[in-house]
Amino acid sequence: MASVITNPVTNTNSDRSKRKKKKKSMIKENQQSQKQNHTRWKSETQQQIYSSKLLQALSQVSLNSPASAPRGGRAVRDAADRALAVAAKGRTRWSRAILTSRLKLKFRKQKRPRGSTASVASITGSSWSKKPRFSVSKLKPKSLPAVQRKVKVLGRLVPGCRKQPLPVILEEATDYIGALEMQIRAMSALADLLSGSGAAGSSSAPPPHSPPPTSQ
């Protein structure tokens, strides 16, 4: 009898301790992930990762088709955005939207032959191009306060967030701003590097080799 009683007691104790440990570790992980989300785009390692990806993408851009019509500025921007989306590791909606939009553009360009769309529009007149669009906002004009309108504008700015509810847009925007700031830091550093070396020739001595960060 005593053994029967003690066995479940020990089992529950061990279960409780296991559950407590699991809960504690999960809470710690959540807190760490939140902290990581806040400072993820500010860490040096993240910027270095992004810079190396950017360099790879840029070397592909310049080698393939130099001096296209807009001078490749748009191509550089697209490559930088793609590298940024890859650096986000697909955890956010805007990064996935950037990556999928590139694929959609490629498929659309292959499917549509160039002359057909223009001819269709000219033959059928303007009836095809003008689709009557009933915007959802017309249903309840009074219940859209300024906050909602501004959040919608914000949703259009952040890629992939046009039809998302309000808290999703706000969360995506916070991550997107951090990522953009990191992109600007990395690109300006790269531009300074290129312009500095270009101006001074190859005489500038490389800085002392710093050991890469081993932790994190």
Partner 1 sequence: MSSRRSRSKQTGGSRITDDQINDLVTKLQQLLPEIRNRHSDKVSAAKVLQETCNYIRSLHREVDDLSERLSELLATTDTAQAAIIRSLLMQ
Token pair for 140 = 């309840």
End-to-end CA distance of the chain: 53
Tell me if 141 contacts partner 1 by CB under 8 A. Answer: no
Residue in this structure with the two tokens 């939140």, named with its chain if needed:
34
Number of C-beta neighbours around residue 101 at 10 A: 16
Token pair for 111 = 């499917």
- Contact predicate 96/175, CB 8 Å: no
Closest listed residue to residue 179, CA positions, set 98, 60, 61: 98
Q: Which residues contact 22 (CB under 8 A, 6 or more apart)?
A: none
Distance between CA atoms of 152 and 85, rounded to whole angstroms?
22
The length of the chain is 216
Nearer to partner 1, 96 or 178 (CB): 178
Nearer to partner 1, 20 or 156 (CB): 156
Which range of residues in 22-30, 58-66, 104-112, 125-133 is near partner 1 by CB under 8 A? 58-66
Kindly identify the residues of this chain, within the stretch 68-87, that bind partner 1 according to CB under 8 A. Answer: 71-77, 80
- Contact predicate 94/176, CB 8 Å: yes
Tell me if 97 contacts partner 1 by CB under 8 A. Answer: no
With CB under 8 A as the contact rule, the residue among 5, 123, 136, 153 that binds partner 1 is 153
Report, in Å, the least distance between residue 147 CB and partner 1. 5
Kindly identify the residues of this chain, within the stretch 156-185, that bind partner 1 according to CB under 8 A. Answer: 157-158, 165-167, 170-171, 173-174, 176-178, 180-181, 183-184
Report, in Å, the least distance between residue 181 CB and partner 1. 7
- Contact predicate 57/82, CB 8 Å: yes
Report, in Å, the least distance between residue 19 CB and partner 1. 28
Distance between CA atoms of 93 and 171, rounded to whole angstroms?
10
Distance between CA atoms of 182 and 50, rounded to whole angstroms?
9
With CB under 8 A as the contact rule, the residue among 17, 36, 197, 213 that binds partner 1 is 197
With CB under 8 A as the contact rule, the residue among 57, 58, 83, 86 that binds partner 1 is 58
Binding region for partner 1 (CB under 8 A): 48, 51-52, 55, 58-59, 61-62, 66-67, 71-77, 80, 140, 143-148, 150-151, 153-154, 157-158, 165-167, 170-171, 173-174, 176-178, 180-181, 183-184, 187-188, 190-191, 193-195, 197-198, 201-202, 206-207, 209, 212
